[in-house]
Amino acid sequence: MAKGMIVYQSKYGATRKYAKWLQSMTNFRCIEISEAAVSEVVQYGTIVLCGGIYASGIAGLSFLKKNIGRLENKKLAIFCVGASPYDESAFAEIKAHNLTGKLKDIPLFYGRGAWNESKMKFMDRALCKMLQKSVAKKDPSTYEPWMKALMCAVGQDCDWTDQEYLIPLMEYLEE
Q: Report the candidate in 79, 61, 81 with the shortest Cα–Cα distance to residue 71.
A: 61
Distances (CA, A) of 13 to 17, 70, 133, 152: 6, 29, 26, 21
* Whole-angstrom distance, CA of residue 67 vs CA of residue 61: 10
Q: For the beta carbon of residue 69, count every other beta carbon within 10 angstroms.
A: 8
- pLDDT for 1 equals 39
Do 84 and 143 form a contact (C-beta atoms < 8 A)?
no
- pLDDT for 149 equals 74
Mean pLDDT, to the nearest integer, of 113-123?
78
Do 102 and 152 form a contact (C-beta atoms < 8 A)?
no
What is the phi/psi pair of residue 19, to 5°? -60, -40
Q: Kindly report, residue by residue over 59-117, the tens digit of the pLDDT.
A: 999 999 999 999 989 999 999 999 888 889 889 999 999 999 999 999 999 999 987 77
Residue 126: pLDDT band with limits 50, 70, 90? confident
Q: Kindly report, residue by residue over 140-160, the tens digit of the pLDDT.
A: 888 777 777 777 777 777 788
Mean pLDDT, to the nearest integer, of 111-135?
78
Do 64 and 39 form a contact (C-beta atoms < 8 A)?
no
Q: In this model, does residue 31 exceed pLDDT 60?
A: yes
* Whole-angstrom distance, CA of residue 24 vs CA of residue 84: 25
